[in-house]
Amino acid sequence: MEETVWQQLHDEAVAAMQRAYAPYSRFPVGAAAITTDGRIISGCNVENAAYGATLCAECSLISQLFATGGGKLLAFACVNGRGEALAPCGRCRQLLSEHADDRLILAMPAGHMSIDEVLPGRFGASNIHDVVDSQSVINTTE
């Protein structure tokens, strides 16, 4: 990914961060990504008086991924209220993993990293399908 594209992603993440609804934490977050077909998508955190109902910026980004046509993520950036690179929380790493292209690179505070570096030994659909497939074979032969 060219440096100009990373700059564009950063700018989109900052623009999304400026639209965040974060009156409780006062910690606005913006996220942006490029999809496999070249779309740029973004999202911001949306908090709630019932704190646990808060949506992270990445949740909003993944919703936009599907609302605009689906696909996989090729590059991802997330920023805090200062426009600095922010590490996605654990739950959001799992959200990103589900929709990661094999080539996905994330702009982390420590630099660019792959999804396997960001979420080592990650859980995915194959972990379910292995077990569910074998169980359905057992069930059909009973």
Provide the binding-site residues for ligand THU, judged by CB under 6 A.
22, 25, 27, 29, 45, 47, 54, 56-58, 88-89, 92
Q: Of 3, 58, 84, 98, which residue is the catalytic one?
A: 58
Q: Is 98 an annotated catalytic residue?
A: no
Residue with smaller CB distance to ligand THU, 19 or 134: 19
Give me the least distance between CB of 86 and ligand THU, in Å please. Answer: 7
For the bound state, the minimum distance from the C-beta of residue 123 to ligand THU, rounded and expressed in Å, comes to: 18
The DSSP code sequence of 56-117 is PHHHHHHHHHHHTT---EEEEEEE-TTS-B-PPPHHHHHHHHHTEEEEEEEEETTEEEEHHH
Distance from C-alpha of 133 to C-alpha of 81, rounded to nearest angstrom: 45
